[in-house]
Structures are given as structure tokens and as C-alpha cells.
Structure 1
Amino acid sequence: MKRLAALLALSLLASFAAADGAPDAQSGAQRYSLDLDGSAAYYQLTVPQPVYAASRRDNLGDVRIFNGADELVPYSLDAPAAATPAVPPSRAPVHWFPLPPVRANNGNASLGVTVGPDGSLRAAVATPPPAQRGADLVDLSRADGSLDALLVHVGDDSYQGRVAVDASDDLRNWRSLGNTQLLKVGHGDDMLVQERIALEGTTPRYLRLDWLDGAPAIASIDVETHPRDARGTDTASVPRQWRDAARIRAGSAPGEYLFDTDGAYPVDRVRIDLPQPNTVARATLQSRADAQAPWRDVASAVLFRLQGKGGEQRNAPLEFAADTDRAWRIVVDMRNGGFGSGQPAVAIGWHPAALTFVARGAPPFTLGVGDASLESSAVSRDALLVGMAPEVRPARVGAALPVAAIAPAPAADTDAPRRYVLWGALVVAVGVLGTIAWRLAKGGGEPRDRDE
């Protein structure tokens, strides 16, 4: 009986202590300082990589904004990662005009075209001989929508070379869109073709293609477009972010490579660099949310790394709709040897979300993330921005804050009545146990059964 009473007392003490000292639901969350530009009612920031890494919700639903009094403030979250068109892109042929080499004339050679009333181009001089051709002028004035890519269909049986791409709206002022590589080569029964020049939603009227390793014969050129209202957010103004994938490792089967993203990134590009030069292999990219979910196909492509006169040619990043899964794998067709020895280097790319909030209350403002129990409390941007042409100023996510720096000021103890009741019950329980112990001591020990 004494032992039973002691156990009961310990159990009561443990349960009441646990109830009184329950941990905070946000004890595992992280806070970041926010740097605000000037003074305004609204601020907008681009969600940086550390916030994605700290998030425990695929939709950033655990993100919160706090003011200096540790009060929540309203915010909206717009993810341009929904950048993949809701409708399939369309393709249309475009006209192009051969040019002499751009580099030989410092970009000042006559283009040999005239501009029609509708902005379309017409040839004004004879086409230069193939030996004198080093560039091409592409007319996009009739393209309808935002431009996804230019598809240059090479007429040669085999071609490998680089091309510099410049854009213009008036044929006088040109801006560089960078360099890329085109490839057409036979491999067994397959033809390996890389003919796509990504334009990332830009809308120039004209493109100039400067062939850095010799101009190929061109069979035709198509432009790939999507309607301007097919994207929820314009991604051209939101640069894609990149980071190396985490924990790349060989799987249990030959030709299987596993990696993780370690964050809630809305991945829409995966760059796979092969371990050895002069490698061509077909592979499928798959993903899943966790170890219990089945793998699902995300993209398939012929991956390559080939040496050429202009340097190495590598496959373009794999493109697909935004995917927030954290577990990924590459499955390689091993019939031609796969990747050989070594393992690939993998990088993931995504368009970061834009977060807009109301600067209610006094600074400093902070961003909290990492509490998996929270659901999203974001409102639409249209509902958040009210008034006549509200000014939205930029904000930036700063350094991670230590726990001591984010502890809120002492507030009213709303749990005091509950705590008093619990401790009162504990005192009564101890008193009852004391009475039982006193009676047992007075009776001279444990009572005996009457049958003894």
C-alpha cells in the first residue's frame, strides 16, 4: 500500500509538472531579420534560399511576418514557380535572313533588310554566299505572345557549335541574351539533337544569331510561345536561383543515382553534369515526397558531354513544371554503359516566391519559418494591397537571429488560472496520500487479510 501511494504521488507530480512546463509549439522555428528600404505601408521581398531550406511546408505555409511587438502582420505569397504555362506552348515558323559575320564588323555591318509598316522584315540585298555567312537575323515581329524558345532546325547531317544571341526592338540597339550551344550528331540508331535556344519569356522583335564556331545550314526556324496571360506571375523579372543538390549517392540498382533537395524548393530545372567526357546516355528523372511514396516520372532526356572544337558540349538542364518533392533519383539506361565510372553532379533551379506584407506596428520586423504545425495564413495580393496606387518598397531577408533575440516581451499570464487549479489539485492529492500514510502508521503497518 505504501509503495502504491508513493507511485501515485510520483505520477501526479510528473503529470502536473509536464502540464505546467509544456514546450512552446514554435521552439523549433527559425527567425530572420528584415531590412526595409525607407518608410512605407507595404514591402515586398524575394524569398531567399535559406528560408526555403528552413521551411517544413511544401507551400511555405509555415512562413510568418512579425513586428517589433512580436505581433503577426498580414502578408501575401505569390510564387512565380507556377511559371510553367497552364496551356501547352505553341510553335510557329519565322523568317530569317543570312548575314556576314558580326564579329568581323564589330556589329556595325549592314543588315541588308528593310522594315515594313507592320514591323516585319524584307530582304533588301542579295543573300551572301555560304562562305561569307557568319550570322542570321531572325524576324519575331509577328510572334504572338511571350517567347519561350527559338528552335533552330539544323539541315546539316552533323553539327556542333556555339551561338551568341542578341535581341533588339529597332535593329540599332542590341542587348546580349548570352551564348548557348547547338548540337546534331548521330549515336547508334538515335539522332542526338540540341536545337533549342531558351528565351525565358522575353519579347524582342528581332534576334541576331552570331555563329561562333561556323554557321550551320538551317532547314527552318520555329518560335515557341505562350499566351501572355498563361502565367500567374511574370518570371522574366525574377531570376532563377540555383544550388547544388544534397547527398548525391549511388542507388541499389546499376544506373540509379539518388539525391535530395533539403528544402521546399519549387524545382523546375535540374542540371545534370556527367562524370566523364564523351558520354551519351538516356536517363529518366523521378521524384517523390518521402520514402513511403512511389516514384513518379518528371522528365526524360538524352544526357551528353562531348568534346568539340569549340570546347565541351553539355546537355541543357531538364525542364518541367514546378515540383516541391524533396527526394529525387536519376535512372539511367545501362544498355550502352550508362555514365561509366564516377557519379554525376546535380544542381536544382527554381523561381523564388515574392512575399508582400503590411508594415503594421513598430520595427524591427522579422520573418519566422520552420514550424511544421502551421498552415498558410497568406492572403491574396489583391486583397492585401488597398487604397489608391499603394507604394510597395523592397525588403530583404537578413541574418538568422539567435533564440534570445526573438524572445517576446513578457505578456499577461493567461494560463495562471489553469496553473492554480493544477497545483491546487496536486496539494489535495498529496494531503490525501499523507492521511493514508498516517493511518497506516497508526495501525502498526500493512493490514492483514482477515482469513490469516
Structure 2
Amino acid sequence: MKRVRSVELSRQFVIKAILFMPLLGALLCAASLSQAEDLPDDFTVHAPLTLSGEGPWYRLELPLGVQLNARQSTLNDVRVFNADGQAQPYAITQSPPQRSVDQTPIAVKWFPLYNSDGAREAEPKIRVERTPNGTLVEVQPQGEIEAGEEILRGWLLDTSAINAPLDQLILDWSSERDGFQRFSIEASDDLQHWQRWGDGQVARLSFAEELVEQRVVNLPGRSARYLRLLWKSPLSAPTLNAVQLISTQPGVLPLSWSPPISGRTEKSGVYVWQLPVALPLERMKVDITQPNSLAPATLYGRRDSNAPWQLIDNGLLYRLSQNGQDVVQDEMELSGNLVQQLKLEVDDRGGGLGKDAPALSFAVRATQLVFLGRSAPPYSLAVGNPTVKSAALPLTTLIPGVSLEKLATLSRASMASTPVAPAAPVTPAEASGLDMKRIGLWAVLVIGVMLLAWMALGTLRSSRAK
């Protein structure tokens, strides 16, 4: 009799459990879907996108402001939504830092450019001898210039051997021409048509019984077979001893600059800046407002306030007036490592940078987002969620057979304005790193187990009463 009653008990429990399983399964599916599906309301900042081209893939260069508004420095909380609020498949491409200790400058040939004394300000006319691949062998003035009347106007650089965008120019010159050297930079592929690349300046100064040099000039990151350097004052053009160039890796995105941020003065001549998040900085710029400022400086950085300061660079910062114009050197190079705090120590014997900390701008290599547009536009970019996980795909998965050439031909997406939102206060759930969706899933599981236990207990009581 007891055996029959036990079998009947088990049978009733199994029947109730089977009847309950679809309900438990539905609850688990709902919890899983709520955890996997991203919704626009889960993000604090949104920005509409403007499309150019037919798609279906679009590439968007993310402004630095997007990264500053993200709640995760790794950009895990970036999404693209369509008009129906559906998240779009996407991939993120980031260029590696360009400044590295292994980067070797490439030496190039240089040739003097002469003018006659009566046409010292004119553009030099030259005749050249080149090899079939375009390498310069000889450069001579076009027309006769009498001995003693030639004026060194500038220099022609042969960069035809460098098949990559040019990022930096490094000069060394004769010691009798110390001080500031200012010149214009022009580029050409045929020696006939020249494109202006801006101005350059280098300096060699004696300061406090030390030699302070600034020999590096930043270039716009474009390719050219030849460069022409024309001195602002022909009589001051120096004799070059060495010319080197640093090229940009193929496919590297341009630098993206931040708006100026304020800092604090730690003590006289020592300034500290705090960045919103840790970023792989490649360049920084100090706003030198006071005329005739000269500041030999040492730059340090660190990941957070608990880490020791690490030496980044030494350099000379200045704003000096010459012939009614300001000569400015206000940038310093960084290694591309993650940095959230910067410290600048200035030698006050040069006049310093003032009592208050100057404003500072910083630059990182731009980040590119590629997404597959599905369903109804318009599309919008969303950012700002401290707990969501990354949904990015590998670029080779998003675009089968992708290459640098194919990537460059994709349709474009742009943002009318950078999304800006006030920094949201950290809630207790964010501070402790809790994931509310994960907690909800566990709550459904616990409730299901409790219901099964309650059913088993009810069946047991019913059998005892009988």
C-alpha cells in the first residue's frame, strides 16, 4: 500500500512539474532576451547620423567627444540604432599609436636652392636631372647666376623613396646659424606644381649653460615625392647637415584633438591636468598666452593618482615676437600609452608660463566605426552605459574580404554635432559594478526553483492527508 502511495505521489509531482516547465521556460527566455537586446533608452547620449552613399556599409570617424562621453574608455558602450530602435551590426577600427621607440627616421637627400641677389624673394627656378624612377641626381639654378651673387633661398628634399604619408621632418644644421629658423613647406610630385603644407620652425638656443634644441617639424600626414623648404628670410637660411623623415603607417587615421581643459598649479612652475578618462595620447598642446614666453619643460604622465609619474618628453615651449610676428612652439609628443594625468615642470629662469596653469589640448589617433545599415533610417549613434558589454564584431566578419582599399571606398556617415552630455553621477549600482539584468535573470531562476519546491511540498502534504 505504501509503495502504491509513493508511486502516486511521484506521478502527481511529475505531472505538475511538466505543466509548470513551459511557464518557467517562458520566464527564462524573457530574461535572456532582455539581457541580450540593447535598447536606445539604455544609453544616456544620442546623436543623429547623416549618410552619404548607397551603403549598405557605412564608416563613421568618431570625434574625440564621443570617447569623452562614453562611460567605458574601451568604447564597449557605443551602439548604432535605426529608426525602429534596433541595434545595427558594427565593428570598431583603431589605429595603433604612431610614436614608438622602434620608429626609425629615414635619411633623405637634399639639394640647395639658389636665387640671384636681385631676386632673393622670388621662387627658385631649377633644372634637374632624375633617374627613371624619379630619384634626383643633380639640381642646378635655371639661368646664369654670377659668382658671389647667389643667395641660398632654401632646400629641395628628395622623398621619392618613401612610399608612405609623411608625418615628421627632422633637421640638423650648421652651428653658425643658431636661434630660430622659420620656413615654408611645399610638396610636389612633378617639381612643377607645388602644394603648400604650412610653415615650419626649428630652434637652437643656449640656455643656462645648456644647449636647447627643437629640431622636429610636424607634417600633415600626406604623401609627396618632393618637399621644398623656403626660408622666410633668405639671408638666414642655414647649411643643412642632415635631413630625416618619419612616415605614417598605411591606413592610419588622423589625429583627433580635444577642446582645451583647465589644470591646476601644484607649485611654482609645476602644472597638473586631469583628463576625463585614460586615453592613448600622442600629442599635447599648451595655450601660451603671454608674449615673449620661453619655457624649457619636462612632461610626465601616469594612468591614475596611485601610479608613479613616468617621464614622457623634454622640450622647449615658447611664444616670441620676431619682426612683428609671433614665433610659437606649443606642442610636445607623447608615446601613445594610456594616460589620465599629465604634469609639466617648467624652468622658471626662462620666464615660465605664468602663475596659473595654462589650458591644455590633447590628441589621440581617431577611431573609426563601421556599421551595416539594416531596415529603416535614420540612424543614430548612442553612447553612455557603464555596464553593457561590447557588441562589436571583427571587421573581417562584418565585411567579408575587407581590405584597406575596400574600406576607403565605403559610404560615409557623419555627425552633425558631437554628442555632449553632463557627466552623470555614479549611482550605487554603478559604483559597485552590479548588472541589474544579470540580477533579474538570477531572480527568475530562484523564483522558479521556489515554485518547484512549493509544488513538491503541496503534493507531499496531500498524499499524507489521504
Interval of TM-score (by shorter of Structure 1 and Structure 2): 0.7 to 0.9
Q: Give the one of 216, 220, 224 matched to 2:241.
A: 220
With over 3 angstroms needed to count, the CA separation of the structure-2 counterparts of 1:29 and 1:298, relative to structure 1, is: farther
| CA displacement 1:1-46 (0-9 Å, x = unmatched) | xxxxxxxxxxxxxxxxxxxxxxx99656222222222432101111
With over 3 angstroms needed to count, the CA separation of the structure-2 counterparts of 1:108 and 1:232, relative to structure 1, is: closer
The alignment partner of 2:240 has SS state of strand
Which amino acid letter does the alignment assign opposite residue 412 of structure 2? P
> Aligned partners of 1:25, 1:137: CA distance in 2, in Å?
56
Please say if residues 282 and 332 of structure 1, whose CA atoms lie closer than 8 Å, have aligned partners that are also in contact. Answer: yes
The alignment partner of 2:66 has SS state of helix
> Aligned partners of 2:350, 2:195: CA distance in 1, in Å?
42
Deviation, 1:52, is 1.8
Which amino acid letter does the alignment assign opposite residue 351 of structure 1? R
Alignment partner, residue 127 of structure 2: 112
Please say if residues 81 and 266 of structure 1, whose CA atoms lie closer than 8 Å, have aligned partners that are also in contact. Answer: no
Deviation, 1:171, is 0.5
The alignment partner of 2:268 has SS state of coil
Deviation, 1:261, is 3.0
Q: Give the one of 388, 396, 399 matched to 1:385.
A: 399
> Aligned partners of 2:113, 2:251: CA distance in 1, in Å?
36
The alignment partner of 1:83 has SS state of coil
| CA displacement 1:344-365 (0-9 Å, x = unmatched) | 2322123321110011232232
Q: Give the one of 412, 418, 426 matched to 1:394.
A: 412
Identity of aligned residues (%): 24
With over 3 angstroms needed to count, the CA separation of the structure-2 counterparts of 1:302 and 1:92, relative to structure 1, is: same
Deviation, 1:209, is 1.1
With over 3 angstroms needed to count, the CA separation of the structure-2 counterparts of 1:73 and 1:129, relative to structure 1, is: farther
The alignment partner of 1:68 has SS state of coil
Q: Give the one of 154, 158, 179 matched to 2:178.
A: 158
> Aligned partners of 1:284, 1:160: CA distance in 2, in Å?
21
Please say if residues 282 and 303 of structure 1, whose CA atoms lie closer than 8 Å, have aligned partners that are also in contact. Answer: yes
> Aligned partners of 2:82, 2:420: CA distance in 1, in Å?
14
> Aligned partners of 1:56, 1:117: CA distance in 2, in Å?
55
Q: Give the one of 327, 346, 353 matched to 2:367.
A: 353
> Aligned partners of 2:420, 2:100: CA distance in 1, in Å?
38
> Aligned partners of 2:239, 2:277: CA distance in 1, in Å?
43
Alignment partner, residue 53 of structure 1: 68
Alignment partner, residue 183 of structure 1: 203
The alignment partner of 1:53 has SS state of helix
Which amino acid letter does the alignment assign opposite residue 369 of structure 2? L
Alignment partner, residue 408 of structure 1: none
Which amino acid letter does the alignment assign opposite residue 393 of structure 1? S
With over 3 angstroms needed to count, the CA separation of the structure-2 counterparts of 1:401 and 1:261, relative to structure 1, is: closer
With over 3 angstroms needed to count, the CA separation of the structure-2 counterparts of 1:50 and 1:149, relative to structure 1, is: closer
Alignment partner, residue 276 of structure 2: 262
Say if 2:212 is the partner of 1:192. yes
Deviation, 1:331, is 2.5
Q: Give the one of 56, 80, 87 matched to 1:65.
A: 80
- Consecutive unaligned residues of structure 1, counting only runs of 5 or more, are 1-23, 403-413, 426-452
TM-score w.r.t. length of structure 2:
0.71
The alignment partner of 1:247 has SS state of coil
Alignment partner, residue 309 of structure 2: 295
With over 3 angstroms needed to count, the CA separation of the structure-2 counterparts of 1:380 and 1:130, relative to structure 1, is: farther
1:64-143 to structure 2, matched below 5 A, reads 64-80=79-95, 82-84=97-99, 87-100=102-115, 109-121=124-136, 122-125=138-141, 129=148, 132-143=151-162
The alignment partner of 2:160 has SS state of coil
Please say if residues 204 and 214 of structure 2, whose CA atoms lie closer than 8 Å, have aligned partners that are also in contact. Answer: yes
Q: Which moved more, 1:39-48 or 1:86-95?
A: 86-95
Q: Quick check: which one's helix share is greater? A: 2
1:235-274 to structure 2, matched below 5 A, reads 235=253, 238=254, 240-251=255-266, 253-263=267-277, 265-274=279-288
Please say if residues 245 and 259 of structure 1, whose CA atoms lie closer than 8 Å, have aligned partners that are also in contact. Answer: no
Deviation, 1:264, is 5.9
Deviation, 1:129, is 4.8
| CA displacement 1:302-335 (0-9 Å, x = unmatched) | 3233332362222251112324433322223456
With over 3 angstroms needed to count, the CA separation of the structure-2 counterparts of 1:157 and 1:36, relative to structure 1, is: closer
Say if 2:234 is the partner of 1:234. no
Which amino acid letter does the alignment assign opposite residue 386 of structure 2? A
Deviation, 1:270, is 0.5
The alignment partner of 1:383 has SS state of helix
| CA displacement 1:256-310 (0-9 Å, x = unmatched) | 2122333565431101233533333332222333333333333222323333236
Please say if residues 213 and 310 of structure 1, whose CA atoms lie closer than 8 Å, have aligned partners that are also in contact. Answer: no
Say if 2:325 is the partner of 1:307. no
Alignment partner, residue 382 of structure 2: 368
The size of the alignment, in residue pairs, is 383
| CA displacement 1:339-391 (0-9 Å, x = unmatched) | 35443232212332111001123223222211121333322222211279696
The alignment partner of 1:192 has SS state of strand
Provide the alpha-carbon RMSD of the alignment. 3.7
> Aligned partners of 1:31, 1:37: CA distance in 2, in Å?
20
With over 3 angstroms needed to count, the CA separation of the structure-2 counterparts of 1:179 and 1:39, relative to structure 1, is: same
> Aligned partners of 1:294, 1:109: CA distance in 2, in Å?
53
| CA displacement 1:69-102 (0-9 Å, x = unmatched) | 3222221111236333583223324222223289
Alignment partner, residue 205 of structure 1: 225
> Aligned partners of 2:278, 2:83: CA distance in 1, in Å?
27
| CA displacement 1:221-270 (0-9 Å, x = unmatched) | 322235x7xx37323xx3x332343232212x332212233356543110
Which amino acid letter does the alignment assign opposite residue 36 of structure 1? L
Say if 2:299 is the partner of 1:285. yes
